[in-house]
């Protein structure tokens, strides 16, 4: 790949910076009470799916105005074709757009729908499904959540038990029963894309189907799950005889595993976490150099400086991995094992960075309340985020398996 930006790409980067500066709604700021999102594409302090439905009129108006501004240019789904509401940008331009939006500190809009479901429907969906769902996502009007994980099927996703059976001869629908868990922002979603088992007798990877389910359907119950910080970034979903039209099936029956793997590949191809980590490490250095922050003076040791320098090197490595993934996506249309390399490296870097911050603040790293804590206890909260980093979007074991079998062509264990 060419590591140098072209003149056109540099011009586009300046265009994005100007847009974010001029069009981001005045007054739509981060929620000081919001916990850090676990989603790498989300800017800390914002929760766009929740803000869109907020009881605070100013926050709700700000979220919707920002979505409308992005939709004018097709920048909610920048890589999609124009006829579905996208901007038809190349993968590298989309990479630049998302990087600059993160650097500007403005939230991603409709991330799961635009970055996971949309590309999946473009690859595997029917024309009717694309026409029905893509424009609403691109306008910021409908939001989606991904229902893959289950109580008994986390990293071993193919062990899922949520069942879908034919509702009856001539019914043209499935009946879905079961439970999903750890579904990000499901309580704010209009629609769900889920994996269900349609053939319990088939090998576990070959009896799964990918369905689109209206979250307001009778029999769907969504309950937020509170994490150990008291935040509710996830939800559990229960399906009780939920009727789903066969027309909502993506791909062939019992072939949903392959559709899901494509969706997860798009999830792993992001840039957001890299920028977020760069910003927090820069803040850490600034804090250590300040004599005003509690807990910072006296921690600036040679050992700590060496560790921070190591994190910077790793962050640049992570950036180049993400850029390489974007170049591969531009070349072949779907992410390959390169996305798993980037996901694996970024997840483990997340945990190392959290430990570096904890070392920097010594006993102050135990402070949970933000008032009076160095960097408003950002690293204390980051350490809690980092616990799940090697589980989200596929565990590190799964990523290593993808790299070994698809990238290095090693035999399956």
Which residues belong to the active site? 267
Distance CA 218, CA 239 (A): 9
Residue indicated by tokens 């939001």:
143
Residue 19 contacts residue 365 (beta carbons within 8 Å): no
The two tokens of residue 225 are 């799950």
DSSP character for 150? B
Distance CA 176, CA 178 (A): 7
CA 162 distance to own-chain centroid: 23
CB contact set of 410 (below 8 Å; sequence gap of 6+): 404
For residue 220, how many other CB atoms are within 10 A of its CB? 18
Distance CA 138, CA 201 (A): 39
Under DSSP, is residue 66 helix (H, G, I), strand (E, B) or coil? helix
Distance CA 272, CA 46 (A): 14
Paired with 210 in beta bridges are 195, 250
CA 83 distance to own-chain centroid: 25
């Amino acid at each position: 790949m060419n590591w140098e930006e072209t003149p056109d790409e540099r011009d586009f980067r300046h265009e994005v910076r100007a847009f974010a500066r001029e069009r981001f709604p005045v007054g739509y700021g981060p929620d000081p009470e919001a916990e850090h999102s676990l989603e790498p594409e989300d800017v800390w302090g914002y929760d766009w799916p929740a803000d869109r439905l907020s009881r605070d009129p100013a926050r709700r108006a700000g979220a919707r105005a920002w979505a409308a501004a992005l939709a004018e240019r097709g920048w909610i789904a920048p890589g999609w074709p124009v006829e579905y509401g996208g901007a038809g940008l190349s993968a590298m331009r989309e990479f630049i757009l998302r990087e600059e939006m993160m650097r500007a500190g403005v939230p991603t809009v409709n991330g799961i729908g635009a970055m996971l479901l949309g590309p999946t429907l473009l690859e595997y969906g029917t024309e009717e499904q694309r026409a029905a769902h893509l424009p609403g996502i691109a306008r910021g009007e409908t939001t989606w959540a991904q229902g893959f994980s289950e109580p008994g099927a986390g990293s071993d996703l193919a062990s899922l038990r949520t069942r879908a059976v034919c509702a009856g001869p001539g019914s043209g629908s499935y009946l879905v029963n079961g439970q999903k868990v750890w579904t990000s922002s499901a309580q704010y979603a209009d629609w769900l894309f889920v994996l269900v088992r349609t053939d319990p007798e088939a090998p576990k990877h070959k009896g799964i189907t990918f369905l689109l389910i209206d979250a307001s359907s009778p029999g769907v119950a969504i309950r937020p799950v509170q994490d150990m910080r008291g935040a509710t970034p996830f939800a559990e979903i229960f399906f009780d005889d939920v009727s789903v039209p066969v027309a909502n099936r993506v791909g062939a029956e019992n072939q949903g595993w392959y559709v899901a793997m494509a969706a997860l590949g798009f999830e792993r191809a992001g840039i957001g976490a890299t920028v977020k980590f760069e910003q927090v490490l820069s803040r850490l250095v600034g804090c250590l150099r300040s004599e005003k922050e509690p807990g910072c003076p006296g921690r600036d040791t040679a050992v700590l400086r060496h560790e921070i320098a190591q994190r910077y090197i790793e962050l640049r490595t992570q950036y180049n991995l993400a850029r390489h993934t974007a170049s591969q996506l531009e070349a072949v249309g779907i992410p390959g094992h390169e996305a798993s390399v980037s996901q694996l490296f970024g997840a483990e870097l997340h945990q190392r960075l959290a430990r570096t911050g904890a070392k920097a603040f010594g006993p102050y790293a135990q402070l949970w309340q933000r008032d009076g804590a160095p960097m408003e206890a950002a690293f204390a909260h980051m350490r809690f985020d980092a616990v799940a980093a090697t589980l989200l979007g596929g565990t590190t074991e799964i990523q290593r398996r993808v790299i070994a079998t698809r990238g290095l062509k090693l035999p399956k264990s």
